[in-house]
């Protein structure tokens, strides 16, 4: 399939994850991130990622967390086109499209359009189908040194293995930042 995107890695997923593989606690909360993540830490790898992308895809819960908890006063993805996958009938906002489109269909469509890489910004309900359909080219994982024991997993069940190659590993303030590419 020909890609319209101008990067060899068209779809990047980026997630904060507990050491035992959870992106949120059993109630869907992310309070456990407190005390680990300083805004200036990890900015270098975040800035490099931002130079490569022009489109962000996220689920409703991630969008809600960003707009109510993480950055209620300022939309942090300004200048990027954001797709929020939700069944809520919401009007488009500047730079934001709310859509009920299936995440896999959306990503397949975006791959054919002109542009830079697509960043999958989170939500297990968005990331897991993309992993199952093998639509993620690159995984950016920030491993938080916390064991949650239960909650919302980043990776769900898979019918078959996904072989990855470690491209980069660094630590910032006790957080392991790992970048894997599909083999």
Confidence of residue 68 (pLDDT cuts 50, 70, 90): confident
Q: Cα–Cα distance between 24 and 149 in angstroms, integer?
A: 11
pTM equals 0.86
Find the helix or strand (DSSP H, E) in which 111 lies: helix 103-112
Buried b (16+ CB within 10 A) or exposed e, 90-101: eeeeeebebbee
Query: Over 50: is that where the pLDDT of 2 sits?
Result: no
* Beta-strand pair 53-59/81-85: parallel
* Beta-strand pair 81-85/175-182: unpaired
Q: Are 7 and 116 in contact (CB under 8 A)?
A: yes
With tokens 């397949």, the residue in question is 108
Kindly give the interhelix angle for 103-112 and 124-132, rounded to the nearest 10 degrees.
70
Q: Cα–Cα distance between 138 and 77 in angstroms, integer?
A: 20
With tokens 């269909």, the residue in question is 105
User: What average pLDDT score do residues 62-76 get?
Assistant: 88
Mean pLDDT, the chain, whole residue set = 87
User: What average pLDDT score do residues 49-71 get?
Assistant: 89
pLDDT on residue 131: 93
Query: Over 80: is that where the pLDDT of 62 sits?
Result: yes
Find the helix or strand (DSSP H, E) in which 3 lies: none
The DSSP secondary-structure symbol of 93 reads B
The predicted-structure confidence for 116-150, as pLDDT tens digits, reads as follows 999 999 888 899 999 999 999 999 999 999 999 99
Least confident of 32-41, 110-119, 152-161: 32-41
Q: Give strand ranges (E) for the chain.
A: 11-18, 22-24, 53-59, 81-85, 96-99, 117-122, 138-144, 152-153, 164-172, 175-182
User: What average pLDDT score do residues 104-109 get?
Assistant: 96
């Amino acid at each position: 399939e020909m890609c319209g995107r101008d990067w060899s890695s068209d779809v990047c997923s980026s997630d904060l994850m507990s050491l035992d593989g959870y992106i949120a606690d059993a109630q869907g909360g992310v309070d456990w991130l407190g005390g680990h993540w300083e805004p200036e830490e990890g900015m270098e790898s975040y800035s490099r990622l931002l130079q490569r992308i022009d489109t962000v895809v996220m689920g409703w819960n991630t969008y809600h967390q960003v707009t109510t908890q993480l950055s209620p006063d300022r939309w942090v993805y300004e200048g990027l086109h954001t797709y929020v996958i939700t069944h809520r009938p919401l009007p488009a906002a500047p730079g934001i499209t709310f859509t009920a489109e299936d995440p896999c269909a959306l990503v397949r469509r975006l791959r054919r359009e002109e542009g830079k890489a697509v960043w999958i910004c989170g939500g297990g309900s968005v990331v897991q189908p993309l992993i199952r359909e093998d639509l993620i080219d690159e995984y950016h994982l920030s491993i938080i040194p916390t064991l949650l024991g239960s909650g919302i997993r980043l990776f769900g069940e898979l019918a078959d293995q996904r072989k990855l190659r470690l491209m980069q590993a660094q630590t910032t303030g006790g957080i392991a930042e790992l970048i894997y590419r599909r083999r």
